[in-house]
Structure 1
Amino acid sequence: MDRPSALGALLAALDARGYDFVTPTPSVGRRAVERGLSKSEPLRAIFGWSQTFERQDLEPALFDLLVAVDALDQDGDHFRSRVRVSRLAGMLFLHSAFPARASDAVFLGPDSYRFTRFIAQATADDGAMSIAEIGCGAGVGGLAGARLHPAARLVLGDVNPKALELAAINAAHAGIVAETRISDGMAGLHGPYDLIVANPPYVAGESGRTYKDGGDMHGARLSLDWAAQAMQRLNLGGKFVLYTGSAILDGGTDAFRVALEGLVAEASTYRLTYEELDPDIFSGELRREAYADVERIAAVGAVIQRNA
């Protein structure tokens, strides 16, 4: 059995067993490992909380699937899955185990849940026939959009081959046809599209993790760049739905919003709606020097629509 087939079989087996897990923040994940949560529910402990386990804790069929795809770390008699599985928008998603420290880790977390809710809010009355997700990761945004618009063609793009592999498996398990492409921003997503969605990396600094580093502007550079690129790939009436984080500067200025409003103002054929979805996220980052002039980090949602 090849890797996609084995990982797809893992998702099917977990689904058949009624597996359910909501991925929380990393700090909650660390607490769960320390306290040994879900030890009475081995599937959630192993595939949700990324806890170590002994071979007898996991059904042989599931253990063999992890072996087949080289997705197990071993330390003596203890094992740990390298993949994690979460349920979101009614679908199961494979992503990287906690903690997601590798440069090519595929991250899914609380932002992913806010992202999909914002897509539903922003596109509820649309009839999109073509959808693209920039920086798709596990494919959360694109698959959520496709569920809302089942007649649409879906393209998922990312610079990370591991992300595209998992996104393709997640799509297949959800019964959604999706094309995956290596793409730095919109470079490989030629379009045009009726709907483009993105949840870019937005943390300041250089961690070396593809899913985390957002560039300058306190981490907002990638979000602004992707917005500029997406605007050029929209059909008439099409929408770019962006979920990201914005560093609110000392004094209350949302510099990313100011920059995004300037970008849209330069192109008279587009209009912008913008809202703060959560006023305080990733507060631990504020201890870092990169955020010395920042009051808080907010989760924000923006919709740029091309006039019909």
Structure 2
Amino acid sequence: MTTEPLAELLKALAARNYRFITPTPSTCRRMAGKALTGRPDLRDIFGWSRAFAQCDLDPALWALLDQAGALTWDASGWRSRFRVSTVHERLFLHSAFPANTADAIFLGPDSYRFADLIAAGLATGGHVRSILDIGTGAGVGGLVAERYAPGAKVLLSDVNPAALDLARVNASHAHADFEVREASGLEGALMDLDLIVANPPYVAGQSGRTYKDGGDMHGARLSLDWATAGMAHLAPGGRFILYTGSTILDGGSDPLREALEEAVAKTDYQLGYRELDPDIFSRELRGEAYAAAERIAAVAAVITRPS
């Protein structure tokens, strides 16, 4: 993959006032089954990942996709290997639908809830000079944080080199002061960070997909490990903003909340925790790993180090 043409593609789409909000995979599947009433437009091609003919696309955009090695062919026609979505008025490249390969870079409703959580957190004030986004994927967390903390240095970290390629393009398009680093979790992370943000995988089981498997604790292990490890990397007054899913067990207990409360109780740090959506990814509850579960909730945890 050649990234320079992808950077030019984002500029070209921005100049054409392109905008697309990415919904759930089920909605995307529904849209894929709807017949077009005319030729596919930019939202069809770069948002819904629909097939198109070469004549359907501006020659300049076609050339950029071709130069980037971002064109694929199937029985329906040409498709872009990447989608482009709008999050908090910034454009983000990510994997085309369906994003079901092991290293696919996903962006969807979780990304929007994560972005909203970060924006709300930064609206409360506080000077942010340094931001670490763990498991950055397309870079949504770190780059949305930078939008509301202009001038901050952003480190985008991920185990997936393909994700870092796209995050680099997205960060350049956002004119952010950034670095990317291939790393697992907090490996090699700087100390005295003003802000750490993370949206870890949180699904129980072993799908083999980088952005899905959350480990034991009904999928909460990675979220807990990143949060507790991240506490040591915060500067005085620094915050760790965690967006994740937590399995609510039969009887209503929340093991992630209980584990975070126990970890924070051993320190002078403060924990804010709340449910953002009481029932997400309900289809996962059919799996054996969720036999003791009532539901999966989208949750926000904010850990703050005293000043």
TM interval, short-chain normalised: over 0.9
Q: Secondary structure at the match of 2:33?
A: helix
* Whole-Å separation in 2 of the counterparts to 1:162 and 1:223: 22
* Per-residue deviation, 1:176: 1.0
2:102 matched to which residue of 1? 103
Q: Does 1:193 align with 2:183?
A: no
Paired-residue identity, %: 58
Matches within 5 A, 1:38-117: 41-75=40-74, 78-117=77-116
* Whole-Å separation in 1 of the counterparts to 2:111 and 2:38: 26
Letter of the 1:44 partner, please give it. Answer: R
Letter of the 1:27 partner, please give it. Answer: S
* Whole-Å separation in 1 of the counterparts to 2:279 and 2:75: 42
Contact map agreement 1:236 1:307 (CA 8 A) in 2: yes
Contact map agreement 1:156 1:178 (CA 8 A) in 2: yes
* Per-residue deviation, 1:101: 1.2
* Whole-Å separation in 2 of the counterparts to 1:38 and 1:108: 27
Instruction: Report the TM-score when normalising by structure 1.
Output: 0.96
Cα deviation digits, residues 95-132 of structure 1 (max 9, x gap): 00011111111110001111011112222212111111
* Whole-Å separation in 1 of the counterparts to 2:51 and 2:39: 13
Q: 1:37 to 1:255 in 2, by over 3 A?
A: farther
Contact map agreement 1:181 1:188 (CA 8 A) in 2: no
Q: Does 1:143 align with 2:117?
A: no
Q: 1:72 to 1:278 in 2, by over 3 A?
A: same
Q: Secondary structure at the match of 2:107?
A: coil
Q: How many residues align?
A: 306
Q: Does 1:152 align with 2:156?
A: no
For structure 1, which runs of at least 5 residues remain unmatched after alignment?
none
* Per-residue deviation, 1:4: 1.9
Q: Secondary structure at the match of 2:177?
A: coil
Q: Does 1:252 align with 2:276?
A: no
Larger deviation, residues 197-206 vs 116-125: 116-125
1:216 matched to which residue of 2? 216
Q: Does 1:24 align with 2:6?
A: no
* Whole-Å separation in 1 of the counterparts to 2:139 and 2:100: 19
Instruction: Report the TM-score when normalising by structure 2.
Output: 0.96
Cα deviation digits, residues 46-104 of structure 1 (max 9, x gap): 11011111221111211111111111111257111110000001100000001111111
* Per-residue deviation, 1:284: 1.2
* Whole-Å separation in 2 of the counterparts to 1:205 and 1:34: 30
Q: Secondary structure at the match of 1:35?
A: coil
Letter of the 2:174 partner, please give it. Answer: A
Q: Secondary structure at the match of 2:72?
A: strand
Q: Secondary structure at the match of 1:53?
A: coil
For structure 2, which runs of at least 5 residues remain unmatched after alignment?
none
Letter of the 2:135 partner, please give it. Answer: G
Letter of the 1:255 partner, please give it. Answer: P
Contact map agreement 1:202 1:245 (CA 8 A) in 2: yes
